[in-house]
Amino acid sequence: MEQIQQADTHEQTLENLKYKLEGIVPEAEIVLKAEIAYEINRLKKEKNAVILGHNYMEPALYHSIPDYAGDSLGLSRISAEVDASRIVFCGVEFMAETAKILAPDKMVLLPADKAGCSLAESITAEDVRKLKEQYPGVPVITYVNTYAAVKAETDICCTSSNAAKIVNQLDTDTVICLPDEYLAQNIARETGKKVIYPGQGTGNGELKNSMIVWDGRCEVHDKFTVQDVKNVRKQFPDTLILAHPECPPEVVEASDYSGSTTAMIKYVQNSDADRYMLFTECSMGDNIAAENKDKEMVKMCSVRCPHMNQITLEDTLESLRKDQYQIEIEEEVRVRAKKSLDRMLEMS
Ligand code: 13P
Ligand code: SF4
């Protein structure tokens, strides 16, 4: 992942934002946001901070302050490598926690005191321990969209960009894949496994070539339906349709492409299609549209992640000024959680 060079002066910051966001964000708002962004970029140098921005950040923030922008996997890698005393994570809490697990000596700041995730909230460490008792010896793969205590009970983590690859590399044909039911179903289809739910598959040989899944859902991607895909195809038949793997499996199957947030960005950039539509969080659509002005984005959705939406330029400035909100993880939990992240980074 390449470092993004942000503007050094207030005038340049404003010019860049105007160029990127014209027609996407009202001009008066761009002027206001450019002032805040300039101050953030000045202060981050003074405080030796690096800003990581997830692809779902709102357009003015996404295009003005991150030193690195990307998906969960890319940002995890950068957290482990980056040379700075502070990491300001413009994303949700589990992402900032991942950065702290990988970079314990750095101060990791989340600009909001709570920016959760319906997937991370769907499972506890106790739930994982019970599953391990029920299915002894079966490896546990956990999506990074979980909190540190859950990662600590896990054999290996995955993200939407490496999940199928990791399942294929494991020397076993039965896995427990947590907590996103849809992501697991999508990986099961890709890797040819049958899906079973906790409590099932305990009879002789029933676990063969199967994936034990949990019932967590992303509250954003859960909203998309096959009917939505059909409606777009009917109205705009030449549209390239991309869906995040957290979408229901039938939506992913009806789409032309499915991949992580960064994989979808790259796919749009490299595609010849004149029109595209994304079944994912809607700020990311605006961010892609700002960088692909030669292509038309069909915009049906206004599905914003309420947790990603907690992160604003205003709060990021406060975060840098006051060193808030600092991520802390109990050392014993951190060390165990790190093993599962390290394994993922080695295997992907
Ligand atoms: P990515 O890893 O694809 O960036 O996804 C993270 C996420 O939270 C999607 O909802
Ligand atoms: Fe969690 Fe869904 Fe929001 Fe991603 S979009 S952070 S999975 S609630």
pLDDT digits (tens, 9 = 90+) for 182-215: 999 999 999 999 999 999 987 888 899 999 999 9
pLDDT digits (tens, 9 = 90+) for 169-183: 998 999 999 999 999
Which residue has the CA at smallest separation from atom 1 of ligand 2? 117
> Count H helices, E strands: the chain?
15, 13
Atom of ligand 1 nearest to the CA of 308: 8
pLDDT at position 344: 96
The model's pTM is: 0.96
State how far the Cα of 158 lies from the Cα of 145, in Å rounded to an integer.
9
Domain with CATH 3.40.50.10800 in the chain: 2-116+308-322, 120-216, 221-297
- Please identify, in words, the CATH class of the domain defined by 2-116+308-322: alpha beta
More confident residue, 223 or 301: 223
Which CATH superfamily hosts domain 221-297? NadA-like (3.40.50.10800)
Token duo for residue 26? 């009202």
CB-based contacts of 291, cutoff 8 Å, min separation 6: 20, 269
| Secondary element (H or E) of residue 158 | strand 156-158
Is 260 a pocket residue for ligand 1 (Cβ < 6 Å)? yes
Alpha-carbon torsion (97, 99, 104, 108), positive or negative: negative
More confident residue, 138 or 299: 138
Ligand 2 center to 184 CA (angstroms): 15
Mean pLDDT, range 58-76, rounded to an integer: 96
Token duo for residue 63? 């295009």
CB 21 within 8 A of CB 30: yes
pLDDT at position 301: 64
Question: pLDDT at residue 148 above 80?
Answer: yes
Question: pLDDT at residue 300 above 80?
Answer: no
Does the domain spanning 120-216 belong to CATH 3.40.50.10800?
yes
Is 93 a pocket residue for ligand 1 (Cβ < 6 Å)? no
Token duo for residue 172? 């076993």
Three-state SS at 129: helix
State how far the Cα of 1 lies from the Cα of 116, in Å rounded to an integer.
25
Ligand 1 center to 11 CA (angstroms): 33
Q: What is the mean pLDDT of the chain?
A: 95
Atom of ligand 1 nearest to the CA of 144: 2
Is 76 a pocket residue for ligand 1 (Cβ < 6 Å)? no
Ligand 2 center to 281 CA (angstroms): 8
Mean pLDDT, range 64-70, rounded to an integer: 97
Closest CA to 64 of 26, 104, 124, 14: 14
Question: pLDDT at residue 116 above 90?
Answer: yes
Mean pLDDT, range 76-90, rounded to an integer: 96
Question: pLDDT at residue 39 above 90?
Answer: yes
Mean pLDDT, range 65-82, rounded to an integer: 95
- Per-residue burial over 316-345, b if 16 or more Cβ lie within 10 Å, else e, is bbebbeeeebebebeeebbebbbbbbebbe
Ligand 1 center to 71 CA (angstroms): 6
Strand partners, 73: none
Is 281 a pocket residue for ligand 2 (Cβ < 6 Å)? yes
pLDDT digits (tens, 9 = 90+) for 246-292: 999 999 999 999 999 999 999 999 999 999 999 999 999 999 999 99
What is the pLDDT confidence band of residue 299, given thresholds at 50, 70 and 90? confident
Atom of ligand 2 nearest to the CA of 91: 6
Residue with tokens 């300001």: 88
Q: Strand 240-243 and strand 257-258: pairing?
A: parallel
Mean pLDDT, range 220-249, rounded to an integer: 96
pLDDT at position 201: 84
| Secondary element (H or E) of residue 276 | strand 275-279
What is the pLDDT confidence band of residue 320, given thresholds at 50, 70 and 90? very high
Mean pLDDT, range 301-328, rounded to an integer: 95
Residue 306 DSSP one-character state: T
State how far the Cα of 236 lies from the Cα of 250, in Å rounded to an integer.
20
Which residue has the CA at smallest separation from atom 7 of ligand 2? 218
Mean pLDDT, range 231-251, rounded to an integer: 97
State how far the Cα of 178 lies from the Cα of 157, in Å rounded to an integer.
9
